[in-house]
Amino acid sequence: MRAQRLLADIERYASTAIGQLLRQSLNDLARGDYAAAVANARQVLDRDSRCVTAWRLTALALEAQGDLLGALEACQETLRLEGDSQDLLEDLGRLAMALDRHEMAVQFLTLALNEDPASPHLAAQLASALSNSHDYRRAVEVLGAAIAADAHNALLWNALGEVSLQQGEAEAALVFFERALGLDPTLLEALYNRANARLELNDAGGALADCDQALALAEHDRRPEILFVRALTRLSCGDLKGGWADYEARLDPDLARAPLFSIPGRRWTPEDALPGRRLLVVGEQGIGDEIMFAGMLPDAIQALGATGALLLAVEPRLTDLFQRSFPQASVRPHATDKSAARPVRTAPFRQDEADFWTPMAGLARRFRPDLASFEQPGGYLVPDPDQTARWRTLLAAHDDRPKVGIVWKSLQTGGDRRKQYAPFEAWLTVLRTLGVCFVNLQYGDCDAELALARAHGIDIWTPPRINLTNDIDGAAALSASLDLLIGVGNASTNLAGACGVPVWLSLPPAAWPRLGAPDYPWFAKSRVFVADRFGEWAPVMSAIHDALQDRFS
């Protein structure tokens, strides 16, 4: 429909210079030369800034390049010039969702569904946007009305399953995905989603079967997201060799939000010999992941030998801590250029300084092939000793009871991440444990939770004059002064575990970093408390409370 409309619009400029440029832009788009398509469309806009067809072509080409923000802005300009149309509103909603602008997506997709109330596709998209905004009630209402009108539409049942899965209701979601696949056994989205539901229900065999069936049906650009789910499934049940191989999909440019790197030189592979070589390791993903995967750096240093060299590019907040912890390495901050269509990570090393480079998690295929390779005597990060001594003195002066750090959430709660963490109210069971002094290590805004604790007669001591978000070196020293840290899997618990502090982790079902182990293999002093189902946090908190009393009684 869009192609026909574009052709019809271009015909209005037949035999003109603008018409030739528009046709060339469309041809460029068709053969995949998106930069040329943008360039030709912008030549038209230089002559006529109100040419809707040129704005449309610009939006399509920018989206194909991965510049979602640029595509959204081009669509908004089209909307300003042309007014509402169902396909334009749908494009705006889809782009807003991809940019995590969920409220904007809801507005555009609501208008689009009003234009075409019978569209199951639009109903499914609106439900997804509502679910991402945590408005699950309305999402179910939209899908309920659509299913009442078309009960044999597999797309709608799949969408209802997605809403249930995002709320942590994996059993209900599984029923809906199976209904969708009963109507259309080749519906790729339903196979992919059922794999995720089965993974959350600890049915690794079923999840792997769905992934394999989905891979047999998927086009090239859809394979990375399926391989990534298969990676997490394999890792969660201890198949590290297959899991790390599939985990390479995290770097595929076809995977939404995949990290992009602009690093000169050849990427290292596990088959490349390391003794005497110079290896550049670049941190990837979030700061918590960089800390966790850094546990493999001592292995890399040993493999490089006395004549080799390790170069490290890490999150700027980690440079001091990592340089102290790995004095044999040259540590510099990496940078992420966000001005391009997609953020690109760079490292401040020249090509002649390294023989190879690798993203940090890429070390796992060589140095963590099985659980036995995780044996570590203690922490691998070294906090500043002077800061650690100062915190110990301050904590001792504040309270003579054992010091237990507490952290209960992550700053990243978009999409379905919220279900990964127990609400703060559930933590009150733990915080009522007698005989310990709780120390607040929660970064970000937590005033409301601290006030709620005080209302229940619970005092959580907040360390003075430290920014737990930005002062990672200070946070490491504070962690090292504690007797124990309890919390969710985030940067704070990873930091404490990496410093050799005992960590107790509250985890959701099928948390893949456990790697099928009974504990948390990344850290030597770890203990896990795992929910049997999403949302069932009361038994977890009771178990942590009892373990705390046993530990410090």
- Per DSSP bridges, beta strands 335-337 and 344-346 are antiparallel
Which of 208, 240, 211, 230 lies closest to 516, judged by CA? Answer: 240
CA 325 to chain centre: 27
3-state secondary structure of 539: helix
Sheet holding 503-507, edge to edge: 437-440, 403-407, 484-487, 503-507, 526-530
> In terms of Cα–Cα distance, which of 398, 361, 395, 379 is closest to 476?
379
- Token pair of 454, please? 């005080």
Helix axes 188-200, 170-183, angle to 10 degrees: 150
- Percent helix, strand, coil in the chain, to 5, is 55, 10, 35
Structure tokens at 198: 């089965």
CA 491, CA 469: separation in Å to the nearest integer?
A: 9
pLDDT tens for 305-356 read 999 999 999 999 999 999 999 999 999 999 988 766 678 899 999 988 999 9
pLDDT string in tens for the chain (553-residue length): 466 666 777 777 777 888 888 888 888 888 888 889 999 999 989 998 988 888 888 888 888 877 888 888 888 888 888 776 778 888 888 888 888 888 989 998 998 899 899 999 999 999 999 999 989 999 999 999 999 999 999 999 999 999 999 988 999 999 999 999 999 999 999 999 999 999 999 899 999 999 999 999 999 889 999 999 999 999 999 999 999 999 999 999 888 778 889 998 899 999 999 999 999 999 998 899 999 999 999 999 999 999 999 999 999 999 999 999 999 999 999 998 876 667 889 999 998 899 999 999 999 999 999 999 997 778 999 999 999 999 999 999 999 999 999 999 886 655 455 678 899 999 999 999 999 999 999 998 999 999 999 999 999 999 999 999 999 999 999 999 999 999 999 999 999 999 999 999 999 888 899 999 988 999 989 999 998 888 889 999 999 999 999 999 7
At 327 the three-state DSSP class reads coil
CATH number for domain 167-258, candidates 3.40.50.300, 1.25.40.10, 2.30.40.10, 3.90.1150.10: 1.25.40.10
Ranges for all domains in the chain classified under CATH 1.25.40.10:
167-258
In angstroms and rounded to an integer, the radius of gyration of the C-alpha atoms of the chain is 26
Give the right CATH number for 385-552 from 3.40.50.2000, 3.50.50.60, 3.30.565.10, 1.20.1730.10: 3.40.50.2000
Angle in degrees, CA 146, 152, 156, rounded to 5? 45
**In which residue ranges of the chain is CATH 3.40.50.2000 found?**
385-552
Distance CA 380, CA 460 (A): 29
In 150-281, alpha helices (H): 154-166, 170-183, 188-200, 204-217, 223-236, 240-247
How far, in Å, CA of 212 to CA of 199, rounded? 14
Instruction: Please state, in angstroms and rounded to a whole number, the distance separating the CA atoms of residues 286 and 214.
Output: 29
CA angle 481-498-447, nearest 5°?
60
